[in-house]
Amino acid sequence: MLARSRGSRGSKRKSTVPNLSSRTRSQAQSDLSSLGFSYTESQETTSNSSLNLNISSQSVSAGQTVLYGSTISYVYYNYVDPTVYTYGPCQAYDSSTSYSCIGGQQNQATTITYRRRQILANGVWNGSYDECSSTSSTTGAQYTNGICGYVAPTITYGSCEAYGSPIANLGSGTQCAGTFYQTYTDYRYNTRRQILVNGSWDGSSYDTGGCGTTDLRSITSSSQVNGQCGHTTPETYGPCESYTFTQPTCNGEDSYVGNYTGYRRTSNLGNTTTSGCSSAVFTGYGECIARNVSACGGTGGAGSTCNPPCSGLSGLPCGYNNTGTYDCNGTCQGASQPPASCTCTYQDMGSYHYSAQCCPSGSANAGSVGGTSSGSCCPNINKTQKWECKSYDVTNPASTNYYDCYSVGACTAPRNPDGSRTICYV
């Protein structure tokens, strides 16, 4: 009879399962392997970052004895950030421009605009960006300073100066300038300045945007006046000169206008004197003033009204279209005035210009706009108001009318920035 081998039961080795609850994933792997166990693992998500990669549970309880080489399963924590990330709108933040010459001094510009958006953590920007698609745009022919040999003109300006008519009358007064006594009127003017291209002025281009208004004093008279501004003029008299005057003079018992020639001297201050001159001389009677004047020895009453004979023109027609008549003194009375000429004033409504004016009867329209004709009433017109091109508009790219003006005097300028262009209609 064969003897039973007793060593067969002891040939299967066993090991005690370690406690993995306080271990990390890598530590658990090391522990199980060193004890001869195989392992499988799975993960459980957690929002607690301190639990990341720590063991959550194990399939065989710690302390149990199992066969060497058995498979032990465990679950470890995997941290997942609870933050919700969103994005703001794409916005431009930088750009780059490249140029290509297309003939002469012209160029074509291609601009790339770089765009990005903010990364929002739970709705709040976390300081970082996410790149968006960039955009590209290409312009047509243009002139760019320093590109393709083009050098932009240097634009400078002269000093601001008053121009045109006053926009306000600030009042009048007097002042002393040394011993001269002056009267003046103060006016307010708009101002403008010359536009200089490379230091030169084309003779007609102005800028009004950089200037405001200025107040100027206009001297209306200036002279040395006796007693004013410390000036004293010595008074001297000239030679005796004749002059005529009238005064009531008796002619019998009646009073008449008496005509006289007197003699007087006039000083440089405007004063007069008869001293040193001959006495006045009676030269004849004029019209009758009154009859039977007591001062003239009249006895027929207290003085009756004179009745001078009427002019031979009395009653005849006179004046414009013979609408008046002469009186006894030969003066034309009651005549009407001829009608004045009528100038149309137009109001601008875009391309439509209108006037509600009608001229008085018998007068014609003396003004016209863009070829309108005369007549008793002002015609309405449909025309576009523009301005005549200047040399600055034709030759200088700095002009706002440069791309509309091709010849000097053409009625194509859409803007009048300095106020010096002539209005025209097309």
pLDDT surpasses 50 at 3: no
164 domain residue, yes or no = yes
pLDDT surpasses 80 at 123: yes
6 domain residue, yes or no = no
Candidate from 75-79, 210-214, 290-294, 389-393 with smallest mean pLDDT? 290-294
Q: How many domains does the chain have?
A: 4
346 domain residue, yes or no = no
321 domain residue, yes or no = no
Look over the chain and give the mean of its residue pLDDT values, rounded to a whole number.
84
- The residue among 179, 190, 176, 104 whose CA lies nearest residue 147 is 104
Tell me the C-alpha distance between 406 and 413, whole Å: 10
173 domain residue, yes or no = yes
Tokens matching residue 313: 């023109």
Q: What is the pLDDT of residue 104?
A: 83
- Domain boundary among the residues 51, 79, 107 is at 79
- Domain boundary among the residues 223, 254, 280 is at 223
Tokens matching residue 158: 């002269």
Q: Which pLDDT tens digit goes with each residue over 290-335?
A: 888 888 887 755 556 676 556 666 677 887 777 887 766 667 878 7
Instruction: Judge if 45 and 93 occupy the same domain.
Output: no
- The residue among 109, 100, 110, 130 whose CA lies nearest residue 118 is 130
Instruction: Judge if 17 and 63 occupy the same domain.
Output: yes
Instruction: Judge if 176 and 219 occupy the same domain.
Output: yes
- The residue among 303, 309, 314 whose CA lies nearest residue 287 is 309
Instruction: Judge if 97 and 71 occupy the same domain.
Output: no
Instruction: Judge if 69 and 111 occupy the same domain.
Output: no
Q: What is the pLDDT of residue 81?
A: 81
Q: What is the pLDDT of residue 103?
A: 81
Instruction: Judge if 298 and 249 occupy the same domain.
Output: yes
pLDDT surpasses 50 at 7: no
- Alpha-carbon distances of 272 from 76, 236, 263, rounded to whole Å: 132, 10, 10
Residue 175 lies in domain: 155-223
Q: Which pLDDT tens digit goes with each residue over 11-33?
A: 578 989 999 998 999 999 999 99
Instruction: Judge if 250 and 271 occupy the same domain.
Output: yes
pLDDT surpasses 70 at 146: yes
426 domain residue, yes or no = no
204 domain residue, yes or no = yes
Instruction: Judge if 259 and 278 occupy the same domain.
Output: yes
Instruction: Judge if 65 and 99 occupy the same domain.
Output: no
- Between 241 and 418, the higher pLDDT residue: 241
Distance from chain centroid for Cα 355: 28
Q: What is the pLDDT of residue 302?
A: 54
- Alpha-carbon distances of 42 from 28, 59, 70, 244, 388, rounded to whole Å: 13, 11, 17, 140, 87
424 domain residue, yes or no = no
Distance from chain centroid for Cα 366: 33
Q: Which pLDDT tens digit goes with each residue over 350-387?
A: 556 666 677 655 555 554 455 454 556 776 777 777 88
Q: What is the pLDDT of residue 343?
A: 61
